[in-house]
Copies of this chain bind each other. A is one copy, B any other.
Amino acid sequence: MNELWNKYEEYMFKISAYGLVLGTTSFDAHTVAPKGGSAYRNERMAFIEGELYSLITSDELYELLKALNADESLDEVHKKIVHWHLKDMERTRYLPKEFFVEYSKAVMDANVAWEDAKHRDDYQIFKPHLLKVIELTKKKLSYLPDGDKGYDALLDEYEPGMTMARYDEFFELIKEKLVPVIKAIKEKPQIDDSFNYLHYPAEQQAKLARVIMDYIGFDFNTGMISTTEHPFTHSLHKNDGRITTHYYENSLISSIFSVIHECGHANYNHSVRDDLAETYVFDNMSSGMHESQSRLFENYLGRSYHFWDNLFEPMKQIFPEQLKDVTQQQFVNAVNKVECSLVRTEADELTYPLHILVRYEMEKGIFDGSLDLERLDEIWDEKYQQYLGIKAEKASQGILQDVHWSDGSFGYFPTYALGSGYAAQFIKAMKKDLDIDECLANNQFSKIKDWLREHIHQYGGLYLPSEQIVIATGREFDPHEYTDYLIEKYSKLYNL
């Protein structure tokens, strides 16, 4: 490798060192750190974020990247790494450091306030922080070269190439195709999932999580699980992937599917090939691509009948009383029950995109100025009434349910629905090569992971999502495959 590249790698080592200690401290703050230390911690983390910001936006790095970008001797892979890095850098450099530190501090404080507000079921605790994060996000847009595009600029950060126009079209299709199915299901006999609401002690749920993770082949030498208010995945390195979950003792299903979901994320990063694992593309896949892998694990695999062939009996052994009258078929039907409910992370696949639609429309309104920011909690409830026909009685099941706005992740939500769409296309392609049900039944989950590694995971974020989809499936993304899959699945389940 040439000298310039060596210099770049040396520089990137420093960045990765700051990333590691900050990422670890952030993970610690979300999981085990005592709340009483958060003021002290956040001030200092914001300072170190500033140090990192100086490194990632420095003239030294910029010159290096521009020189590498002009270097024709680089191979295609290295050219791409430089391309993505330079593209992001050119955006980031527009933000003044003081602003970056202020923003970092504000989201950390907002996160602490959000968790407190959710526990106490009091939106007023979170509201000033949310408004501050919105204000700072608007300020951020004012610095960016494409900031005049407003929400479109944010959407592009999470999913390159996506715009409101394209998402509008996507969600129009969703509404057109799925709302009639949801209505039809309401007229049908409902699935009994009463067993789900018995008492499931957290300790046993943790044991079950471990059994499921072992089945998936999650390697505890290179990963771990912890608990948080809101589940997430944080891959500090290919060999240090952390997932979290939340055990609700009055629900069996909630943590099961959040664990499978997060394992999908963790497995993506864990499977990036070695020569890319410590490069810029290790973790720059689009959010839609990342969510496609988590939603694929959670829904396309986790909610299928044969996923439970090797797990249902072990689960019954952990909860013999609670599940004594439940068969595998009843269980699988129950985890696919369609219901207009309040909490996104627990929603069935069919109504799920409507939850996303609520958030997407609100974010659009926040950034085009059409929403009254004083009434965000009420607007949330109104939109749930409009799209799902129900209203939260508690803010913790309404506007406070998700962590994302406290993180300033405006533009992220729609990628959940889009990723679910990508996943339908991936599954269809996988089925040409593999009998998925047979793999699941025969305890060969690794074959599924091998397919995903070969066609998707190994590349990390080397390709645009639109390119990656063609690489894996041979076709451009077609959202009809998503709606077709859902209509077929639920027509069968409910005898429509």
**C-alpha spacing A219/B35, complex, angstroms:** 11
Task: Verify if A236 is at the interface (C-beta below 8 Å from B).
Answer: yes
| Size band of the interface chain A makes with B | 35 or more
Chain B residue numbers with a CB within 8 Å of A236 are 37, 41
Residue interface mask A20-61, B partner, CB < 8 A = 1? 111011011001111111001101110110000000000000
**C-alpha spacing A16/B48, complex, angstroms:** 10
Chain B residue numbers with a CB within 8 Å of A479 are none
Chain B residue numbers with a CB within 8 Å of A18 are 48
State how many copies of this chain the complex holds: 2
Chain B residue numbers with a CB within 8 Å of A219 are 36
| Contact status A21-B25, CB under 8 Å | yes
Q: Quick one: which of B16, B28, B47 contacts A44, CB cutoff 8 A? A: B16
| Contact status A28-B34, CB under 8 Å | no
Q: Quick one: which of B17, B203, B221 contacts A35, CB cutoff 8 A? A: B221
Chain B residue numbers with a CB within 8 Å of A35 are 221
Chain B residue numbers with a CB within 8 Å of A20 are 25, 40-41, 44-45
Within 8 A of B (CB), among A260-316: 278
Chain B residue numbers with a CB within 8 Å of A28 are 24, 27-28
Chain B residue numbers with a CB within 8 Å of A278 are 40
Q: Quick one: which of B13, B25, B241 contacts A24, CB cutoff 8 A? A: B25
Most chain B beta-carbon neighbours within 10 Å: one of A16, A37, A224, A239: A37
Nearest chain B CB to A296 CB, angstrom units: 24
Chain B residue numbers with a CB within 8 Å of A47 are 13-14, 17
Within 8 A of B (CB), among A216-256: 219-224, 226, 236-237, 239-242
